[in-house]
Amino acid sequence: MVESPVWRHLGKPLSRKVRTLANNPRQKNSNARRKLRNWLKSQGNPCALCGAPIDYDLPAGDPFSFEMDEIIPVSRYYLGGYATPEQCALDRDNVQATHRICNQRKGNAIIIHRDKGGDADRIPTSRDWGA
């Protein structure tokens, strides 16, 4: 029997992908995350990053659709005083409603203060410390 080149190619990456999904705190607790997302969506808040209203009826891929943003990103959970990434991902006080495009532009930065009409301040990175 000849081994299919597709299976040979997918063998290692597939198992790595499965391991990655199992370790992602957003994927582990999908039911709890879904409830948290629905709770946040039901509040109908404007975008926490730009202040503009969010159209909650837009499809998920649209740049101005609703997206749940973590104030302290899961990748930096230790900066928010969380013991685990799961605690960070499921904390109601750590999520805010944003536009998809605003959340993508923010990335995993931590915005700690926002003045009305002013720019958002960020936690300084090592490049900024000497300035």
Q: In this structure, is residue 131 part of a structural domain? A: no
Is 20 among the domain residues? no
In a domain, 82, yes or no: yes
Q: What is the pTM of this model?
A: 0.67
Could you tell me if residue 61 is inside a domain?
Answer: yes
From first to last of the 131 residues of the chain, give the pLDDT tens digit: 444 444 444 445 545 554 555 567 766 778 888 999 999 999 999 999 999 999 999 998 999 999 999 999 988 888 888 999 899 989 999 999 999 999 999 988 888 655 555 555 555 555 555 55
How many C-beta atoms lie closer than 10 Å to residue 113's C-beta?
Answer: 10
pLDDT at residue 106, as a whole number: 92
User: Which pLDDT score, from 0 to 100, does residue 116 have?
Assistant: 54
Would you say residue 23 lies in a domain? Answer: no
How many Cβ atoms are within 10 Å of 89's Cβ, its own excluded? Answer: 25
The pLDDT score that the predictor gives to residue 4 is: 46
**CB within 8 A of 59, min separation 6: which ones?**
65
The secondary structure of residue 92, as a DSSP letter, is G
Q: Into how many domains does the chain fold? A: 1
In a domain, 97, yes or no: yes
Q: Does 12 fall in a domain? A: no
